[in-house]
Amino acid sequence: MENIILTVHLLLALALIGSVLLQRSEGGGLGIGGGGGGVASGRPPATPMAKVTWILALAFIATSLALTWISTTNSAGNSVIDRVGIEDAETGAPALPPALGGDLTPPSSGDGPAVPPPVE
C-alpha cells in the first residue's frame, strides 16, 4: 500500500511542477512578466489551470500526510537501539552503546584482537 501511495505522490509532484510552470505569470514580483489588472480590478478570476493546480496541491498534501501516517504506524514501538542488534553478553538484552551511557570496558573474553602494552 505504501508503494502505491508513494508512486501516486511522485506522479502528483511531477504534475504539480508541470502545472505551475505552464501557468501565466500574474504577479510581476520582480518587475517582469505579464501581470496587469491595474487599479480597476482586484484579483483576476481563477483560470482552469489554476484550479487544476489547487487540486494537485491538495492531493499532494493528502498523500504526504498519508505517507507520514503509514511510516509512523510501521515504526511504532521500535527503537533504533533495538534495530542495531547490540546485545549484552550476560543477559542477552539490548545494550546501550557507550554514547548513551553503556559500559566502556572492553570484553573480557579472548575474542578481540590482542592489544600490545604501551611503549614508554
Is 17 among the domain residues?
A: yes
Is 60 among the domain residues?
A: yes
Q: CA–CA separation, 119 vs 50, rounded Å?
A: 75
Is 53 among the domain residues?
A: yes
Tally of structural domains, the chain: 1
Is 100 among the domain residues?
A: no
Task: Pick left, alpha or beta for residue 81 (phi over 0 → left; psi -120 to 50 → alpha; otherwise beta).
Answer: alpha
CB count within 10 Å of CB 63 equals 19
Is 92 among the domain residues?
A: no
Is 113 among the domain residues?
A: no
pLDDT at 14: 97
Rounded to two decimals, what is the model's pTM?
A: 0.55
Domain holding 62, by residue range, is: 1-21+49-69
Is 36 among the domain residues?
A: no
Is 91 among the domain residues?
A: no
User: In the structure grid, which three cell numbers stand for residue 52, read together?
Assistant: 487544476
Q: Which residues of the chain have pLDDT under 50?
A: none
